[in-house]
Amino acid sequence: MFKYLSAQLPFAFQRRSTRGNAAVVVRLVLVLLALIILYSLVFHFIMEWENRALGTDHNYTWITGFYWTLVVMTTLGFGDITFASDVGRLFSILVLLTGVIFLLILLPFAFIQFLYLPWVEAQTAARTPRELPDSTTGHVVLTHDDAVARALMARLAQRGIPHVLIIPDFDEATRLHDLGLAIMMGNLDSPETYRRARLDHAALLVATASDAQNATISFNAREIAPDVPIVASAGEEVSVRVLKVAGCSRVLRLGEMMGQALARRTIGGDAMTHEIGRLDDLIVAEASCVRTPLVGKTLLENRLNELGVNVVGVWERGRFQAAGPQTVIGPNTILVLAGTKEQLVNYDEHFAIYNAAAGPAIVIGAGRVGSAVARALRGRAVDFRIIEKSKVRAQGDNVIIGNAARESVLIEAGIKDAPSALITTADDSVNVYLTLMIRHLRPDIQIVSRSIQDHTVDTLHRAGADFVVSEASMGASVMINLLDRSDLLMLAEGLDITRLALPKSLAGKTLAQTDIREETGCTVIGVTVNGQTRINPDPNVPLVEGAEVLLIGSIEGERRFLERYGKS
């Protein structure tokens, strides 16, 4: 125990505050010792005075004087040595009160505050690393604890990629470490921190704090690791150039990306295809089935495969389902289509006549994300109205100034005829409230909502949102791509395109001979052989060893695919 304590206390006393408090304790103990000596001397003087004044015969040694002082100060009060005069009794009271204050109050408090607690903190600090092992390599270093970082760490853990989050605050680092996160303590504005994080052997540095903090982080990190990719988030457009000067390899404007993602989810009130993702020549798009002859029939009955497109899945009120021949199209179904540009144009030619729009789309919020949504919709030639509370932000003829939580404001904006509503506020609870309200007013409207935290996505879906774009998942997916994973494309919350090497167990087999969709929930929408990609490949053509397959599905579906069929 004492050996362990001696190893931990030196670390605890490295802190300036602890050293200062320890000095106070030392002075307190010295004062106590001085009082014990003083009271022992006074004890003898009063005893000699009583012998002369009262005629007593009490002769005590110096050791007895110390004994009496300690007995009284500790309130043991044996009573074997007492004074006979009032002066002696008053002195006894003084010694007693001094002992109570020092021994029962000050010293116990000092022991707990300046000895026990530093020892406990030293134990905790010893569990929170301040340096990574020399063997650490290929890891991802994160510098800010936020929703994007948490989502990214979850993705990295799922893929078995080592990572560490640097936290400068001792208490916060301890708390996160106890939660099971990979934590390292260090000051973000010190190059030494990145040296101890083995940044020069890392795969990526991620900075998602404020623009100013990200610039400082990038500048110091670049000094230690000249060649390691650094990706940072930026709120303002002007910050992009500054961050690149500071050393960033890639700067992400997550607000702008979120706005574009929300706009892509908007059906725009027609039955035509709207692109939501592209990988090489493959285009993934969505198309609403509202007021089309597709409603009420199965995919087999609708014979959409004759148009050349592949219906890989359907959205039903925010839930993605893999599509099969017997999948029935409902009034709120949105098809997820995969094909080439020519194939999707062919689809549009058949369904361009079906238009369900009677009014403009409604965008709630004119902040960074709302403004980005407006720019994206304008680029798609989609009519829209913006509802904004702040008169400073509210600019333009198509802006309604007011609180979207009021029914009268929504009606003024045209909620009764709008094909879709896009909720862009930065408060998840407000987004849930608005979703519930709009779904109550318009059961048939399309609702697309922004989500800050991953755990709110399901709540928003249950509240009635058709699509939810999680800022955390979107940012994490983009950063995963920067780890030499250009083979991953996030289409929507829980829906990705992944490029994988063909597992050996599938070589020589045809897609028709496998049960990939049934067993994994993923769909093969492309096969690449010798650099040439076949979109919507013939299911009766054998798969060639060394080929790559394009899978569309969830991350969980990809995991099941690898577990079922193995790797190449």
List, for residues 362-380, the tens digit of each pLDDT value: 999 988 899 999 998 888 7
**Burial of 176: CB neighbours in 10 Å, binned 0-12, 13-18, 19+:** middle
Strand partners, 41: none
Q: Running DSSP on this structure, what letter comes out for residue 183? A: E
HEC string of 202-232 equals CCEEEECCCHHHHHHHHHHHHHHCCCCCEEE
Q: Which residue has the higher pLDDT, 497 or 421?
A: 421
Q: How confident is the model at residue 428 (pLDDT cuts 50, 70, 90)?
A: very high
| pLDDT tens column, 437-461 | 999 999 888 899 999 888 898 899 8
Q: How confident is the model at residue 20 (pLDDT cuts 50, 70, 90)?
A: low
Q: Which DSSP string corresponds to 283-339?
A: EEEEEE-TTSTTTTSBHHHHTGGGGT-EEEEEEETTEEEE--TTPBP-TT-EEEEEE
Q: Which residue has the higher pLDDT, 144 or 493?
A: 144
Q: Which residue has the higher pLDDT, 112 or 396?
A: 112
Q: What is the pLDDT of residue 435?
A: 95
Residue 505 has pLDDT above 80, yes or no: yes
Inter-residue contact 422 to 262 (CB < 8 Å): yes
Residue holding tokens 């992944």? 498
Phi-psi region of 57 (alpha: psi -120 to 50; beta: other; left: phi over 0): beta
Residue 488 has pLDDT above 60, yes or no: no
Q: What is the pLDDT of residue 525?
A: 80
Q: Which DSSP string corresponds to 395-414?
A: -STTEEES-TTSHHHHHHHT
Longest dimension (CA), the chain: 127
Q: What is the pLDDT of residue 124?
A: 62
Q: Which residue has the higher pLDDT, 13 or 87?
A: 87
Inter-residue contact 39 to 23 (CB < 8 Å): no
Q: What is the pLDDT of residue 2?
A: 42
| Cα 218 to Cα 208: distance, rounded to the nearest angstrom | 11
Say whether 419 sits in a helix, a strand or coil: coil
Average pLDDT over residues 288-304: 83
Pairing state between β 495-501 and 488-492: antiparallel
| Cα 284 to Cα 337: distance, rounded to the nearest angstrom | 6
Q: What is the pLDDT of residue 232?
A: 93
Q: Which are the contacts of 201, defined by CB distance < 8 A and separation ≥ 6?
A: 136, 137, 138, 139
| pLDDT tens column, 130-165 | 899 999 999 999 999 999 999 999 888 877 889 999
Q: How confident is the model at residue 335 (pLDDT cuts 50, 70, 90)?
A: confident
**Count of other CB atoms within 10 angstroms of residue 257:** 18
Q: What is the pLDDT of residue 10?
A: 52
Q: How confident is the model at residue 184 (pLDDT cuts 50, 70, 90)?
A: very high
Residue 425 has pLDDT above 90, yes or no: yes
Average pLDDT over residues 506-524: 85
Q: What is the rounded average pLDDT for all residues in the chain?
A: 84
Q: Which DSSP string corresponds to 471-509?
A: HHHHHHHHHHHTTT-TTEEEEETTEEEEEEEPPGGGTT-
| Cα 561 to Cα 521: distance, rounded to the nearest angstrom | 8
Residue 13 has pLDDT above 70, yes or no: no
Residue 484 has pLDDT above 70, yes or no: no
Lowest mean pLDDT among 54-63, 115-124, 313-322: 115-124
| pLDDT tens column, 256-292 | 888 888 887 776 656 778 777 777 677 888 887 877 8
Residue holding tokens 């078995």? 160
Phi-psi region of 381 (alpha: psi -120 to 50; beta: other; left: phi over 0): left
| pLDDT tens column, 206-227 | 999 999 999 999 999 999 999 9
| Cα 453 to Cα 52: distance, rounded to the nearest angstrom | 85
Inter-residue contact 474 to 254 (CB < 8 Å): yes
Residue 561 has pLDDT above 60, yes or no: yes
Tokens of 142: 């994160």
**Count of other CB atoms within 10 angstroms of residue 465:** 29
Amino acid at 358: A
Domains of the chain in start order, with CATH, are 2-127 (1.10.287.70), 140-252 (3.40.50.720), 270-351 (3.30.70.1450), 361-472 (3.40.50.720), 494-565 (3.30.70.1450)
Q: How confident is the model at residue 404 (pLDDT cuts 50, 70, 90)?
A: very high
Q: Running DSSP on this structure, what letter comes out for residue 543? A: P
Question: Taking the model in full, what pTM does it have?
Answer: 0.65
| Cα 386 to Cα 395: distance, rounded to the nearest angstrom | 9
Q: What is the pLDDT of residue 8?
A: 46
**Residue of 33, 34, 56 lying closest to 46 (CA atoms):** 56
